[in-house]
Amino acid sequence: MKILAFAGSTSSTSINRELVKFVLKDFHDEDINLIDLNDFTMPVFSVDLEKKGFPDEAHNFLKKIEECDVIICSLAEHNRSYSAAFKNVFDWSSRINVKVFQNKPMLLMSTSPGGYGGGNVMNTAKTFFPQFAADIKDTFSLPKFYENFDMESGVINPDLLKELKEKIENFKNTVKTND
Ligand SMILES: Cc1cc2nc3c(=O)[nH]c(=O)nc-3n(C[C@H](O)[C@H](O)[C@H](O)COP(=O)(O)O)c2cc1C
């Protein structure tokens, strides 16, 4: 199984990337492609630029999705929504293919230092990603990242760890069944 993983952030210290990496440990036998949105930096989307053509990076992002079997991602929340970096990749990609996520089974996550764990961006993505052909199998938000996550051992809050592990197991079973 080919896994495409990413954080919706370009931060070199992204906590969402840490959460993704922690989850990927449970998929160590699989073919993992953890991409960095910094490799998909494009000019800010505009309809005027679009008339001149699409950046290679947008095609590349869609190709990464095309090549994978499942998507594991965690979105950063900026001002209650997507980070500008993620939104830009999303916008450009959606203009090439509105089915951005190409019906790939997705484990959708978010985390933030706050108590809602990126719940706003999660709600937006949960509501609208399916309109872009996301097949969201499960979601998980980790609140208070710096209290609930240890950089060495991962999620340390027992209840949240239990919830996440159950969701990972269910996700694995669901995508196996779909094979
Ligand atoms: C411009 C900006 C806006 C932010 N807005 C929110 C917000 O609305 N809700 C929230 O929970 N955290 C917010 N944060 C804090 C981010 O959740 C925090 O920076 C987190 O580390 C971002 O994820 P990342 O480390 O994966 O990039 C904001 C941070 C920045 C820089």
pLDDT in tens, 1-10: 999 999 999 9
Cα–Cα distance measured from residue 161 to residue 176, given in angstroms and rounded to the nearest whole number: 22
How confident is the model at residue 36, as a pLDDT? 98
Say how many Å lie between the CA of residue 76 and the centre of ligand 1.
Answer: 6
Ligand 1 mutation target, pool 36, 78, 116, 122, most atoms within 8 A of CB: 78
On the CB side of 124, CA atoms within 13 Å amount to: 14
∠ Cα 154 170 60 (to 5°)? 75
Cα–Cα distance measured from residue 148 to residue 113, given in angstroms and rounded to the nearest whole number: 9
This prediction has a pTM of: 0.98
With a 6 A CB cut-off, is 112 part of the ligand 1 pocket?
yes
Q: Over the stretch 153-164, which tens digit does the pLDDT of each residue have?
A: 999 999 999 999
Q: What domains can you pick out in the chain, each with its CATH number?
A: 2-178 (3.40.50.360)
List, in order, residues 6 or more apart from 34 with CB less than 8 Å away: 5, 6, 20, 21, 24
Is residue 140 scored above 80 in pLDDT?
yes
Task: Please give the DSSP secondary-structure letter assigned to residue 142.
Answer: E
Which among 109, 123, 104, 121 has a CA at the least distance from the CA of 164?
Answer: 109
Is residue 179 scored above 70 in pLDDT?
no
Say how many Å lie between the CA of residue 156 and the centre of ligand 1.
Answer: 21
On the CB side of 98, CA atoms within 13 Å amount to: 2
Q: Over the stretch 91-132, which tens digit does the pLDDT of each residue have?
A: 999 999 999 999 999 999 999 999 999 999 999 999 999 999
Cβ-contact 76, 109 below 8 angstroms: no
On the CB side of 18, CA atoms within 13 Å amount to: 19
